[in-house]
């Protein structure tokens, strides 16, 4: 009876060991296999064997991982305090290196990304941080990818999700933007006035150079006024006509005799002695 019990226990243990020997590696996974603590091979997807108590293995997920980095408080080069949210996308390229070269590669990548992000933000101004997110994200990715290459990690991208400023800095930026818009409005208005003055000067030169152009322009103005219901009509007299009238008046004044001089001669003759 005892013998049957022992045999039953041995059979059960053998069955458990056989079941634990077979491992299923999924398509998106790789297995790093060890024998007595020494690296043996990388297990490819499929049904694989790992001898209990003698061999061991670690499962490695080869898919792209999206890690949301905790909000980092940094100071820019122009001494502005900002908080930056980011997300990093990476994948394991070499399962052997990811297990043998670094302890807990996911934690190591996250810590490296946080440190690099703070360092890069501290090297740029606030304006560059707000306007050049893509360039800064690309620079952070390149630094992290180079550092994690010996670990068998490939960093695909780093995205800056949000840049949070203090309330007083937001008000300063709003005032700066408002002043910039006002400056642009004044500049555009001045450019428009300059262009309008230049066009009017060109039109005046054209009317002055072409004979009869001013008269035709006057007739065109009167024609446009004829369709108006207003009782007030403004007639524009050319400056040349006014100057011509002034010249005619000056000639008439010069040609008329002086009344005082014509009477003086008889007066002198009457007063002479006989």
How far, in Å, CA of 132 to CA of 123, rounded? 13
Residue 237: pLDDT band (50, 70, 90) is low
- Three-state SS string across 14-55, please? HHHHHHHHEEEECCCEEEEEEECCEEEEEECCEEEECCCCCE
| Interval 101-126 mean pLDDT | 92
80: three-class secondary structure by DSSP: coil
| For range 110-137, the mean pLDDT | 90
**Which residue is listed with tokens 């999700």?**
161
Residues 6+ apart with CB under 8 A from 263: none
Of 238 and 258, more confident: 238
Q: Are 206 and 213 in contact (CB under 8 A)?
A: yes
Q: What is the pLDDT of residue 235?
A: 60
User: Quick one: pLDDT at residue 106?
Assistant: 92
- Write down the pLDDT at residue 261: 45
Confidence of residue 172 (pLDDT cuts 50, 70, 90): confident
- What average pLDDT does the segment 24-31 reach? 92
| 234: region left, alpha or beta (phi > 0 left; psi from -120 to 50 alpha) | beta
**Residue 150: DSSP 8-state:** G
Instruction: Report DSSP state, residue 104.
Output: S
Q: Quick one: average pLDDT of 126-142?
A: 90
SS3 84: strand
Neighbours of 33 (CB within 10 A): 20
pLDDT of amino acid 9: 72
Closest C-alpha to 117, from 76, 153, 156, 78: 76
On the question of pLDDT at 93 being above 90, the answer is: yes
Q: Which residue has the higher pLDDT, 61 or 264?
A: 61
Highest mean pLDDT among 67-81, 145-159, 175-189, 249-263: 145-159
H/E element, 250: helix 239-255
Average pLDDT over residues 169-186: 82
Highest-pLDDT range among 1-5, 66-70, 208-212, 246-250:
66-70
What H or E segment, with its residue span, contains residue 184? helix 167-209
H or E element in which residue 161 lies: strand 153-165
Burial of 99 from C-beta contacts in 10 A (0-12 / 13-18 / 19+): buried
Which tens digit of pLDDT belongs to each residue from 34-56?
998 899 999 999 988 888 888 89
Indicate the range of 101-110, 141-150, 193-202 predicted with least confidence.
193-202
pLDDT (0 to 100) of residue 181: 85
When comparing pLDDT for 272 and 18, which is higher?
18
pLDDT for 228 equals 59
pLDDT at residue 146 is higher than 90: yes
Run of H or E residues at 58: strand 55-61
What percent of the chain clears pLDDT 90, i.e. is strictly above it? 34
Nearest-10 crossing angle of helices 167-209, 213-226: 120
| The pLDDT value given to residue 236 | 60
For residues 70-77, average pLDDT: 88
| Tens-place pLDDT, residues 2-27 | 776 766 777 767 777 777 788 889 99
Are 42 and 32 a contacting pair, CB within 8 Å? yes
């Amino acid at each position: 009876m005892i013998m049957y019990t022992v045999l039953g226990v041995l059979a059960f243990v053998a069955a458990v060991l056989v079941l634990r020997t077979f491992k299923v590696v999924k398509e998106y996974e790789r297995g790093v296999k060890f024998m007595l603590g020494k690296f043996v091979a990388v297990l490819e997807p499929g049904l694989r064997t790992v001898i209990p108590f003698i061999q061991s293995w670690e499962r490695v997920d080869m898919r792209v991982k999206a890690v949301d980095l905790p909000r980092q408080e940094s100071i820019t080069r122009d001494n502005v305090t900002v908080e930056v949210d980011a997300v990093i996308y990476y994948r394991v390229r070499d399962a052997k290196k990811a297990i043998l070269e670094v302890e807990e590669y996911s934690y190591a990548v996250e810590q490296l990304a946080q440190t690099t992000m703070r360092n890069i933000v501290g090297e740029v101004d606030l304006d560059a941080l707000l306007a050049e997110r893509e360039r800064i994200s690309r620079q952070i990715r390149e630094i992290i990818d180079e550092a994690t290459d010996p670990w068998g990690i490939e960093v695909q991208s780093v995205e800056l999700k949000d840049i949070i400023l203090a309330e007083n800095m937001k008000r300063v930026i709003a005032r700066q933007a408002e002043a910039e818009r006002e400056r642009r409005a004044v500049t555009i208005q001045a450019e428009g006035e300059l262009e309008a003055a230049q066009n009017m000067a060109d039109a005046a030169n054209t009317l002055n150079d072409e004979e009869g152009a001013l008269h035709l322009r006057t007739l065109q103005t009167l024609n446009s006024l004829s369709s108006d219901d207003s009782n007030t009509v403004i007639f524009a007299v050319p400056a040349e006509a006014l100057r011509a009238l002034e010249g005619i008046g000056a000639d008439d004044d010069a040609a008329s005799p002086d009344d005082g001089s014509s009477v003086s001669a008889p007066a002198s003759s009457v007063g002479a002695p006989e």
